[in-house]
Amino acid sequence: MAKFLMGWELGDGLGHAARIKPLAQELQRRGHETLLVLRDLVQPAEILQDLQGTPRLQAPHWQHQTRGLPQPLASLPEILLSQGWLLAAHARALVEGWLAAIRLSGSQVLVADYAPSAVLAARIAGIPCATMGIGFYMPPDTTPLPSIRPELNIPTQRLLDTERLVLANANAVLAAHGKPPLGRLHELYTGDRPLLCTWPELDHYGRPESAAQGWFGPTFLADADKGERPAWPAGTGPRVFAYLKSGHPDHAAWLQALVDKGCRVICYLPEVAAGKPPPLRSPLLHYAARPVSLGAVLPDSDLIVCHAGEATLAQGLLAGVPLLLLPMQAEQAVMARVAAARTGAAINAAELPRPLPMAATLGRLLDDGRMRENAVAFAARYRGFSHAGQTTRMVNEFEALLSRS
């Protein structure tokens, strides 16, 4: 029996906890102990409630504001500067928080989900580290690391300067503990064994299929079928599932365009579910009171409208359904661009001209069969994918690291 620390430091949302949960369960099934050190203990509580006997601790993470950075943030190193790595002393404090968790728990392997400070702590502690996650925060081995805002043509010198600062701060922390320096910054994100939880068509950096040590496929909530059952509005029009947030400036306009086309829409809009007035009312539009069972709604859908979060996007493609993508932040913007270009089954609304050609866009998605054909072809390619198989493969990789501890 071994002890595994599973850590999440950066990023929001439930995807991190959803990825960690089945892996922790499988490690426990094999007789190992797990400790979860999480950025957010509250939002994932319901997801993790059946992880009995698994201690959870608050992750060391930056809780202040960093002012004066160039906007928008254009690379992973720039994001790290905004999260406490602008000064070596602050980075060291974060790393030592993780180091204390490793040493006090007696953990023998670190499993890191977007946790660069934890990766450095594992290096100092002398324990092996597996990293896992979507392509966005599992960068390729390049210098400088790629821009996450390619549409802005960020100067290479800016990317280099930021990367050199973060690398210098990381190496200052290592030197303070008598450890050798990192040679390249990507090591801070990838550790000893990177497990890329996506597929080439959904990789934020557009790497070729041969570029990774293995594509483990995307992770999403395995118990998503516990959500609300779909209640389609009456009629004969196309069935559309929309998972939207009111922060997107065009969300109401797209809903109106769907209704104008005669679509029957099930929309989960969290703000409406929480009591905010709906942006549009129509007999063709049903607002779900809570998250919808994707396993139940997607097979009957003719179109999915979402913000390009990888979990919803991947499940839609696996169901053979085309997508309209309305990204809201940098990670989603890159995902939308890559998915539209590499699958041929999605349209990235952020790349459409203004005024938005909504009717024509919906015509392409719903009336032109090519996008549906491309989505069905994608689903066929990954028909053999299962979360059970993914979990087994990944936990085998974790256990293989025990020989290095």
**Domain tally, the chain:** 2
Of 39, 49, 50, which Cα lies nearest the Cα of 15? 39
Residue whose structure tokens are 């557009």: 206
CA 356-362-366 angle, 5° bins: 165
- CA separation for the pair 194, 23 (Å, rounded): 15
Q: Which has more pLDDT, 80 or 15? A: 80
The least confident of 51-60, 213-222, 252-261, 393-402 is 213-222
Dihedral sign, Cα of residue 87, residue 91, residue 93, residue 96: negative
- Are the C-beta atoms of 91 and 62 separated by less than 8 Å? no
In terms of domains, do 129 and 172 share one?
Answer: yes
- Are the C-beta atoms of 200 and 209 separated by less than 8 Å? yes
- CA separation for the pair 294, 228 (Å, rounded): 9
- CA separation for the pair 58, 220 (Å, rounded): 23
In terms of domains, do 48 and 145 share one?
Answer: yes
- CA separation for the pair 147, 245 (Å, rounded): 26
Give the per-residue pLDDT at 369: 93
Hey, which residues does 38 pair with through a beta bridge? 58
Give the per-residue pLDDT at 222: 54
- Are the C-beta atoms of 333 and 359 separated by less than 8 Å? no
Give the per-residue pLDDT at 12: 82
- Are the C-beta atoms of 24 and 18 separated by less than 8 Å? no
- CATH code at 117? 3.40.50.2000
Give the per-residue pLDDT at 224: 47
DSSP three-state, residue 67: coil
- Are the C-beta atoms of 323 and 220 separated by less than 8 Å? no
- Are the C-beta atoms of 50 and 27 separated by less than 8 Å? no
In terms of domains, do 199 and 107 share one?
Answer: yes
Give the per-residue pLDDT at 197: 94
In terms of domains, do 9 and 157 share one?
Answer: yes
Give the per-residue pLDDT at 221: 65
In terms of domains, do 109 and 140 share one?
Answer: yes
Residue whose structure tokens are 């960020």: 154
In terms of domains, do 30 and 137 share one?
Answer: yes
Question: Residues 6 or more apart from 33 whose CB is under 8 A from it?
Answer: 1, 2, 3, 4
Tell me what the mean pLDDT of segment 300-306 comes to: 98
DSSP H or E stretch at residue 103: helix 88-105
DSSP H or E stretch at residue 92: helix 88-105
Q: Could you tell me what percent of the chain has a pLDDT over 90?
A: 85
Categorize the per-residue pLDDT at 167 as very low, low, confident or very high, splitting at 50, 70 and 90: very high
In terms of domains, do 243 and 104 share one?
Answer: no
- Longest Cα–Cα distance in the chain: 70
pLDDT for 82 beyond 50 = yes
In terms of domains, do 129 and 75 share one?
Answer: yes
The least confident of 10-14, 221-225, 241-245 is 221-225
In terms of domains, do 37 and 88 share one?
Answer: yes
Indicate the average pLDDT of the chain. 94
**Domain carrying residue 393:** 3-217+386-404
pLDDT for 211 beyond 80 = no
In terms of domains, do 94 and 213 share one?
Answer: yes
Tell me what the mean pLDDT of segment 115-130 comes to: 98
- CA separation for the pair 322, 347 (Å, rounded): 8
In terms of domains, do 52 and 177 share one?
Answer: yes
Tell me what the mean pLDDT of segment 227-254 comes to: 96
- CA separation for the pair 358, 322 (Å, rounded): 16
Spell out the alpha helix ranges (H) of 195-283: 251-260, 270-273
Categorize the per-residue pLDDT at 223 as very low, low, confident or very high, splitting at 50, 70 and 90: low
Burial (CB < 10 A; 0-12, 13-18, 19+), residue 65, is exposed
Q: Which two tokens stand for residue 353?
A: 């001209």
Tell me what the mean pLDDT of segment 110-119 comes to: 98
Residue whose structure tokens are 């702590």: 121
Identify residue 104 by its one-letter amino acid code.
L
Angle of helix 15-29 relative to helix 310-318, nearest 10 degrees, comes to 70
Q: What is the pTM of this model?
A: 0.89
In terms of domains, do 256 and 209 share one?
Answer: no
- Are the C-beta atoms of 322 and 301 separated by less than 8 Å? no
